[in-house]
Amino acid sequence: MSLTPAGFERLLALLDPDREGAGEAYVRIRKKLVKFFEWHACLCPEDLADRTIDRVGSKVEAGEPVRASQPLAYFHGVARNILREHWAEKRKDAAMRRGLLAELPAGGDAWEWPDKSDPDQRLRCLERCLKTLYPESRDLILRYYEGSSQARIANRKALAERLEIPQNALRIRSYRLRARLETCVENCLKKEKTGK
């Protein structure tokens, strides 16, 4: 849901009767919301900040009472709810992807392992290593390698658009995550071989 122009005007009026003061308050609140979501390791803090503002604006437009003396506190409360919803969505997505782990190939262009260890052992280590990532990072790397070669290209383009970053930036992020995962899996395999 996005905020209507009338709803946006009512939101600004709530923040400050002076138009310029309202604009400054809006920018200040948005920056604080972005920081809030960054601190909670969200990949798209700007999107979540905008969703929070839209939600508050919709409530204002619907005539719900908002304490005008403490608008930042109200925004923060709504942001906490948005964060809970966001993580619930991620958990639901992760549950749907659990089957994907079993389908990751042992070789090929998706994941190439330098040793010839047991594929089940590699999968166990990969699952352990994926759990060490933030949920947002885990979601990104799983989506990045999802699908066959043609579908993967479309998935990556859609993922970059959803994150509002260039495809090259997505490639760099996924490369760094993959390098981290590969190191983690190699260490895990070594530990399993040595029994330490």
- 169-192, pLDDT tens digit by residue? 888 888 888 888 888 888 888 887
Based on the fold, state whether residues 71 and 117 are members of the same structural domain. no
Look at residue 10 and tell me if it is in a domain.
yes
Look at residue 160 and tell me if it is in a domain.
yes
Domain range spanning residue 22? 5-86
d(CA 188, CA 124): 9
- 27-56, pLDDT tens digit by residue? 999 999 999 888 887 777 888 888 999 898
Look at residue 116 and tell me if it is in a domain.
yes
Look at residue 92 and tell me if it is in a domain.
no
Based on the fold, state whether residues 131 and 186 are members of the same structural domain. yes
Number of domains in the chain: 2
Q: pTM (2 decimals)?
A: 0.50
d(CA 160, CA 168): 9
Based on the fold, state whether residues 179 and 108 are members of the same structural domain. yes
Give pLDDT, residue 94: 61
Both structure tokens of 60 = 């204002």
Based on the fold, state whether residues 149 and 113 are members of the same structural domain. yes
CB proximity list for 18: less than 8 A, separation 6 or greater:
none
Look at residue 65 and tell me if it is in a domain.
yes
Based on the fold, state whether residues 68 and 118 are members of the same structural domain. no
d(CA 2, CA 47): 12
